[in-house]
Amino acid sequence: MRKLRAKRVVIKVGTSTLVYPDGSINLRAIDQLAFVISAMRHRGREVVLVSSGAIGVGLNYMGLKQRPKAIPEQQAVAAIGQTELISIYKERFAVYEQKIGQLLLTRDIFVYPKSHHNVLNTFDALLAQNIVPIVNENDTVAVDELDHETKFGDNDQLSAIVATNIGADLLIMLSDIDGFYDGNPNGDAAANLLPHIETVTQHTYELAGGSGSRFGTGGMITKLKAAERMLKADGQMILANGEDPSIIFQILAGEPVGTLFG
């Protein structure tokens, strides 16, 4: 059994968990997430959800099969999809009588002392009122200028930035894969799951590949960067399969599922 500290927990859920490969929305996963998080709140844990899916849900809403190439069009899809995504969350959480709040952040928000202060105050006030903050990157302003043809948003790192700044003990990163493997399982059938990684090294990065899904952006490299950030702040991260989000109950019970970093 694993020993975890998990009083304040950040859960990051990727597009691959929320949207089926054919582009339709996985309402079952969203409902399960709402159930698990509401149950965690009732047991006295403080939970923040970092959810991707604005673009994936927006594509579905607009009947588009592919992500548009131009950045402004992607931003428009994200703006449309985010309203739909948060409406679905609001509806599903309401079933469990759990209120939510929406925070759209950029990764640099904690660099500016005044913004940093305001954002932390908002988290504290929401958590003190038993409200679940749901965070996504503010896709309208978040384009990475240095590499903006290919890179758009990175909730893996945003989730770790949020977790370390609000002093979370644990980051649970849900994706479409059972954990971190010693090779990209999407192409390498012989790759093995690594249950425990104590430190992220150059060698770990060499085992990581890009995204496996059509709508996801980060792949494993951004997840490793997130893990590194958690470890530096003395936190822990678990990467696990979000296909059935009730896996979070197993994680919190210390069962050896997914990959533990830390």
Ligand X SMILES: Nc1ncnc2c1ncn2[C@@H]1O[C@H](COP(=O)(O)OP(=O)(O)O)[C@@H](O)[C@H]1O
Determine the size of the site formed for ligand X (CB under 6 A).
24
Annotated binding-site residue? 115: no
Q: Report the length, in residues, of the chain.
A: 262
Which residues have a Cβ under 8 Å from the Cβ of 157 and sit 6 or more positions away?
107, 218, 222, 225, 226, 229
Site map 14..43 versus ligand X, x via CB under 6 A: xxxx--------------------------
46's contact among ligand X, ligand VHF, none, with CB below 5 to 8 A by partner kind, is: none
Annotated binding-site residue? 219: yes
Annotated binding-site residue? 175: yes
Annotated binding-site residue? 222: yes
Annotated binding-site residue? 223: yes
Give the C-alpha distances (Å, rounded to integers) separating 219 from 25, 42, 88, 180, 201.
20, 33, 25, 11, 17
CB-neighbour burial class of residue 29 (10 A; exposed 0-12, middle 13-18, buried 19+)? buried
Annotated binding-site residue? 144: no
How many C-beta atoms lie closer than 10 Å to residue 24's C-beta? 11
Site map 201..230 versus ligand X, x via CB under 6 A: ------xxx-xxx--xxxxx----------
CB of 258 to ligand X, least distance (A): 11
Site for ligand X in 89-108 (CB under 6 A): none
CB of 215 to ligand X, least distance (A): 7
CB of 185 to ligand X, least distance (A): 5
**Angle subtended by helix axes 113-128 and 155-165, to nearest 10:** 80
184 binds ligand X (CB under 6 A): yes
d(CA 128, CA 8): 12
200's contact among ligand X, ligand VHF, none, with CB below 5 to 8 A by partner kind, is: none
d(CA 234, CA 229): 9
Give the C-alpha distances (Å, rounded to integers) separating 205 from 43, 49, 200, 210, 224.
36, 26, 8, 11, 7
CB of 129 to ligand VHF, least distance (A): 25
For residues 240 and 179, the answer to whether their CB atoms sit within 8 Å is: yes
CB of 68 to ligand VHF, least distance (A): 13
75's contact among ligand X, ligand VHF, none, with CB below 5 to 8 A by partner kind, is: none
Buried b (16+ CB within 10 A) or exposed e, 100-135: bbebbbbbebbeeeeeeeebeeebeebbeeeebbbb
228's contact among ligand X, ligand VHF, none, with CB below 5 to 8 A by partner kind, is: none
Binding site members for substrate: 52, 139, 155
Binding site members: 12, 52, 139, 155, 175-176, 217-223
Binding site members for ATP: 12, 175-176, 217-223
Binding footprint of ligand X on the chain (CB under 6 A): 14-17, 175-177, 180-181, 183-186, 207-209, 211-213, 216-220
